Chain A
């Protein structure tokens, strides 16, 4: 396949768009043609956000079609489940176990799925799940979840992990050098989280 399709999903405010932007910068730095598109209906108000990233020699349509995503990156567990159908057969899902429960569930109109990850696995998908939100909080800031997720993707791309790490760090380098180190740590945590999972038995 000449075009790589990465679908990042989550909820407004989680940093989905920033993460995809950083991925795009990494792909651009390698000279790829890149298109990135968002569907973010009123995303600032807690709505669903999906960000499509496509890169390769030449990208025409910016949209990833159902069944075409190589990588599905879920910033929230139920959102990953919602977008499962976007993965191609053999594609991989990287999912944050952190849950964001919306008001419609709180007031009892709907239920949050008991185990979204199990549901995804039951569909035959390869899923790597880890609690990026908890890792971010351990490092001192929930907003680092974004970098943890990027770290989780690092070894699943068609280019070396360092290219992505450099794109993450380049964001802060000049403006906020004090954040470089903590982001490097967050990136590494994400990377290890997926690596650790890969070694598990297949049916874990």
Chain B
């Protein structure tokens, strides 16, 4: 395999994650421009690429812009790359659907990472659909080595057919490390922009003649897929069942059924139908193992190839050996092998929480105290406000949706919600990604929405990347910084309806929210304290609890800081006869950053400064 790849094998083998392997291949392919918006599990690709001085790398404000940047680079003849998580391609799809008509010049590769199993996403999606929808070929690597090789091959394929190429990754490729053998680097010099309105200016008169070209390209790619070295037939000694598999599912199939014939799809769209027909002659039955939707299965059936698929396998999540084995046993009417291992133990859940001293804590503490509000939320660390102990976020849909949803809640409300205020909560990066257009809509259409814009100077959720609001670029170097207050003003929010406040000042926050929700106009409350995970965050003197003074009221627990721990519970009967639950606490001083949030609701002043116990925050980070 890999014989037609450019460059000879380079001596040393590396141990890389799929993301690192893709990044290295992009560099080795002589790519000139790489752009992305962060999103798990794809984020590390651009983080890696930013380390290579020989190419231009950027965080873009959103995925659509990143794809357009890559397209522009391709137009002038440069090799170009962009990366995104699955939902990112929904955002970028408008550009994709027309750039497939113009075609590309310099090789253009789009890495899209599906979060199969949904370890950190708002939905599960099968991005292979985009290949079908947009008439572009799709590669599906099965491990880090293939992620490297296929990325190199994708640039070549893109240039051979002058179309964008999708590299479809999943969490189980992005975040799996394996041995990778790199190949020699290529040099690639941009040919220069060839002005040609009929090619690049997609008005109907120009686009129409290009549609047949796109379909011809499909035919050529279909022929190529039939002979592609990435689509491989493995003969097997056990011909009861043959498999068609791609991506990580291929490895699972080989692991669980080492003797079965397999058609491995590497260049999985267009589908090599004849190869599949060949497989069908090698086995009594065929099972298609694909994550997650039945695309291949449907196409095989349409081509008259009998196969099994989603009637025996789940349509969601990963198809690991422990899923495959019982499903196949069931197909043959065999008893499902009984587990030989210990039973699953019931242990409390451990949902993700906000960090100790997170600047969002005070926001949710405050929102939880307010009555009669509907809270339209968005995506970021602040989505966790929907969880315990705050329960103060009512919706979370897609990046930027908090704005439009809030406006719709406002305009659509009847008697039931007439007395409620609508509050939208959005983070800085999300606001710049797709939220500010929604705010413009709120202003323009005279919505009655109070927006909480949580500027923590970072894309916190994905690990603290830069955005136009942080004043730094992908390399951490100084860059122009957007002023959120002025931006909101420019979008038409009245100056007196824009406040910038410190989210650690609970009374100020409470008062501002109360006031703004009462005024029937768009208003924006911007908070301005940084995420604790960013490099320049400064911790101050930590706190402790004086046990004798703690009355067990539990007010500080409502802040939701993970450094606060309950030491003892009790029930007290009030003079009125009412029973109250008490929870006495301590603060894990070694974790406390001294943010001062929990001190504010503590009436008996039981929380006081402490000397750092174990100075963990001040020692070397990576012991």
On whether the beta carbons of B15 and A34 are closer than 8 Å, the reply is yes
Q: What distance in Å separates the Cβ of B125 from its nearest Cβ neighbour in chain A?
A: 17
Say which residue of A63, A88, A119 sits within 8 Å of B345 (CB atoms): A119
On whether the beta carbons of B178 and A45 are closer than 8 Å, the reply is no
On whether the beta carbons of A46 and B353 are closer than 8 Å, the reply is yes
Q: List chain A residues, Cβ under 8 A from B348.
A: 78, 102, 104-105, 109-112
On whether the beta carbons of A107 and B565 are closer than 8 Å, the reply is no
On whether the beta carbons of B342 and A124 are closer than 8 Å, the reply is yes
On whether the beta carbons of B119 and A40 are closer than 8 Å, the reply is yes
Q: What distance in Å separates the Cβ of A15 from its nearest Cβ neighbour in chain B?
A: 8
Bound: A89/B340 CA distance, A: 7
Which of B153-161, B249-257, B534-542, B602-610 touches A? Answer: B249-257
On whether the beta carbons of B619 and A85 are closer than 8 Å, the reply is no
Name, among B339, B344, B384, the residue most crowded by chain A CB atoms within 10 Å (CB to CB).
B344
On whether the beta carbons of A125 and B342 are closer than 8 Å, the reply is yes
Q: List chain A residues, Cβ under 8 A from B562.
A: 46, 102-103
Bound: A101/B531 CA distance, A: 23
On whether the beta carbons of B351 and A104 are closer than 8 Å, the reply is yes
Q: List chain B residues, Cβ under 8 A from A118.
A: none
A106 within 8 A of B: yes
Say which residue of B172, B590, B616, B623 sits within 8 Å of A37 (CB atoms): B172
Within B417-464, the residues touching A (CB, 8 Å) are 461, 463
Q: List chain A residues, Cβ under 8 A from B321.
A: 61, 63, 65
Q: What distance in Å separates the Cβ of B260 from its nearest Cβ neighbour in chain A?
A: 13
Residue ID in chain B nearest A3 by CB atoms: B255
Within A34-56, the residues touching B (CB, 8 Å) are 34-48
On whether the beta carbons of B616 and A104 are closer than 8 Å, the reply is no
Q: What distance in Å separates the Cβ of A76 from its nearest Cβ neighbour in chain B?
A: 9
B533 within 8 A of A: yes
B560 within 8 A of A: yes
Known: A88-B341, A143-B616. Is A47-B350 also a contact (CB below 8 A)?
yes
On whether the beta carbons of A41 and B119 are closer than 8 Å, the reply is yes
Say which residue of B344, B381, B463 sits within 8 Å of A85 (CB atoms): B344
Q: List chain B residues, Cβ under 8 A from A88.
A: 340-341
Q: What distance in Å separates the Cβ of B551 from its nearest Cβ neighbour in chain A?
A: 17
Within B345-392, the residues touching A (CB, 8 Å) are 345, 347-355, 381, 384, 388-389
Q: List chain B residues, Cβ under 8 A from A85.
A: 339, 341-345
On whether the beta carbons of B120 and A61 are closer than 8 Å, the reply is no
Bound: A12/B620 CA distance, A: 18
Residue ID in chain B nearest A142 by CB atoms: B616
On whether the beta carbons of A34 and B347 are closer than 8 Å, the reply is no
Q: List chain B residues, Cβ under 8 A from A119.
A: 345
Q: What distance in Å separates the Cβ of A144 from its nearest Cβ neighbour in chain B?
A: 5
Bound: A89/B143 CA distance, A: 29
Known: A103-B389, A123-B342. Is A34-B179 also a contact (CB below 8 A)?
yes
Bound: A165/B350 CA distance, A: 32
On whether the beta carbons of A106 and B566 are closer than 8 Å, the reply is yes
B310 within 8 A of A: no
Residue ID in chain A nearest B463 by CB atoms: A44
B564 within 8 A of A: yes
On whether the beta carbons of B352 and A41 are closer than 8 Å, the reply is yes
Bound: A126/B331 CA distance, A: 37
15 further A-B contacts with Cβ under 8 Å, apart from A42-B461, A62-B172, are A35-B178, A46-B355, A60-B251, A61-B256, A62-B248, A63-B318, A67-B341, A111-B348, A113-B347, A141-B619, A142-B590, A143-B616, A143-B622, A143-B623, A144-B623
Q: List 23 A-B contacts (CB under 8 A).
A: A12-B352, A37-B177, A42-B119, A42-B120, A45-B353, A46-B562, A47-B351, A47-B353, A48-B350, A59-B178, A60-B252, A61-B256, A61-B321, A63-B172, A63-B252, A85-B339, A85-B341, A88-B340, A103-B353, A108-B569, A109-B348, A142-B614, A143-B619
Closest CB pairs A-B (n = 4) = A67-B341, A45-B352, A110-B348, A42-B352
